[in-house]
Amino acid sequence: MVKKNQTLGEFIIENQQAFPYSSGELSRLIRSLRLAAKVVNHEVNKAGLVDILGLHGDTNIQGEDQQKLDVYANETFIQTLINREIVCGIASEENDDFITISGKNNDNKNKYVVLMDPLDGSSNIDVNVSVGTIFSIYRRVTPIGTPVTKEDFLQPGNQQVAAGYIIYGTSTMLVYTTGCGVNGFTLNPALGSWYLSHPDMKFPENGSIYSMNEGNYVHFPEGVKKYIKYCQEEKEDRPYTSRYIGSMVSDIHRNMIKGGIFIYPKSSKANNGKLRLLYECNPMAFIVEQAGGKATDGFNRIMDIQPKELHERAPFFCGSKNMVNKAEEFMRKYS
């Protein structure tokens, strides 16, 4: 039974009680991400007013200019997790390597690692378009109390314990799953509280929105080109509507509410596409699947891919189950 206006804190406590034998570590971890999200939201919302726009002057491992807000968001999430000593390691799009958190006496007994894209879509900040934070949580696979290794981060997405995103849009929402469905909470900035606004989110099985950067059409695989033409022909429930914000969290969040498919495929310019498997594709895939959608690389389930590198990329087809199935038909037929 959905409790109207339940706060995120009350929701976490209620769900914690559903796992009486758990340590409560995951609940504390979600709470710390909730705090960091409020801090970042405050800065994102006033980005236009203070001198944190424009480039930070550095570039991240992706070779992308680091916007000041990128760096600020990254440092905020990392420091919050370190201060609360609730994880044993962190990996971020903004950091070349993972961060080991050994604890005061070098005896960190925490069992979770967090992987994140602290501010996805940051190139949209200067034009006032919504951006997002994406996080993914795993249990470590190496012995507790020892420093984390790359093995703890290079786990397939099907091992995720929790995943979520914060969307800094017309309103700020935190949407997450711990494997028991997907729930969305909206921040009331006046009170600093998050309220259960989207209980038990379900991805519409069908949809009529397709979302991809068609500017790359000439570089797309034949199967994607054929699927785009399928979306555009006047037949049955088509033509579909094209919508592309250029901020993955926003594009997928819209589709989760209205139905649709988001595609960032490989191309002749990028052999594995652009999106990062570990901290973009996998967390979004976990959420989408938990809401009844589908997420693949055009052929196989994204969350079954065994990662080899921290920052590896993957082609991404994600959204309403029937739309992803149809896109895969074209990918198989024309591959």
- Sequence ranges of the binding site for substrate: 120-123, 213, 244, 274
Classify residue 198 by burial, with Cβ atoms within 10 Å: 0-12, 13-18, 19+. middle
Question: Which ranges constitute the DSSP H helices of the chain?
Answer: 8-17, 25-45, 68-84, 222-232, 248-258, 282-290, 321-333
Q: How many residues bind ligand P6P (CB under 6 A)?
A: 9
Q: How far is the CB of 193 from ligand P6P (least distance, A)?
A: 28
State which residue, 122 or 290, has the beta carbon closest to ligand P6P. Answer: 122
Q: What angle do CA 290, 296, 298 make, to 5 degrees?
A: 155
Q: Which residues belong to the annotated binding site for Mg(2+)?
A: 93, 117, 119-120, 280
- Given the rule CB under 6 A, which of 151-159, 168-176, 240-248, 295-303 is the region that contacts ligand P6P? 240-248
Distances (CA, A) of 173 to 70, 130, 193, 250, 320: 18, 11, 11, 11, 21
Contact window for ligand P6P (CB under 6 A) among 26-34, 35-43, 166-174, 245-253: 245-253
**Main-chain phi, psi angles of 188, to 5 degrees:** -95, 100
Annotated binding site: 93, 117, 119-123, 213, 244, 274, 280
Residues in a beta bridge with 112: 139
Which CB atom, from 186 or from 267, has the smaller least distance to ligand P6P? 267
Considering only residues 83, 200, 246, 333, which one is a binding residue for ligand P6P as defined by CB under 6 A? 246
- Draw the binding track, 115-134, toward ligand P6P (x: CB under 6 A; -: no contact): -----xx-x-----------
131 vs 161 by CB, closer to ligand P6P: 131
Least distance (Å) from ligand P6P to the CB of residue 323? 17
Phi, psi of 167, rounded to the nearest 5 degrees: -110, 120
Candidates 95-103, 188-196, 242-250, 285-293: pick the segment binding ligand P6P (CB under 6 A): 242-250
Query: In this chain, which of 26, 101, 125, 248 binds ligand P6P, going by CB under 6 A?
Result: 248
CA 123 centroid distance within chain: 16
Check binding of 213 to ligand P6P (CB under 6 A): yes
**Cα gap 167→250, rounded to integer Å:** 7
Q: In angstroms, what is the minimal distance from the CB of 168 to ligand P6P?
A: 13
Residue environment code for 290-301, b if the CB has 16+ CB neighbours within 10 A, otherwise e: bbbbbbbbbeee
Residue 66 as a binder of ligand P6P (CB under 6 A): the answer is no
Describe the crossing of helices 222-232 and 321-333 by its angle, rounded to 10 degrees.
130
CA distance 115 to 137: 6
Site for ligand P6P in 257-276 (CB under 6 A): 264, 274
Output 92 or 247, the one with its CB closest to ligand P6P.
247
Query: What is the bridge-based pairing of β-strands 241-242 and 89-92?
Result: unpaired
Smallest separation, CB 62 to ligand P6P (Å): 9
- Residue 313 within binding range of ligand P6P, rule CB under 6 A: no
In angstroms, rounded to a whole number, what is the distance separating the alpha carbons of residues 293 and 55? 36
Residues in contact with ligand P6P by the rule CB under 6 A: 120-121, 123, 213, 246-248, 264, 274
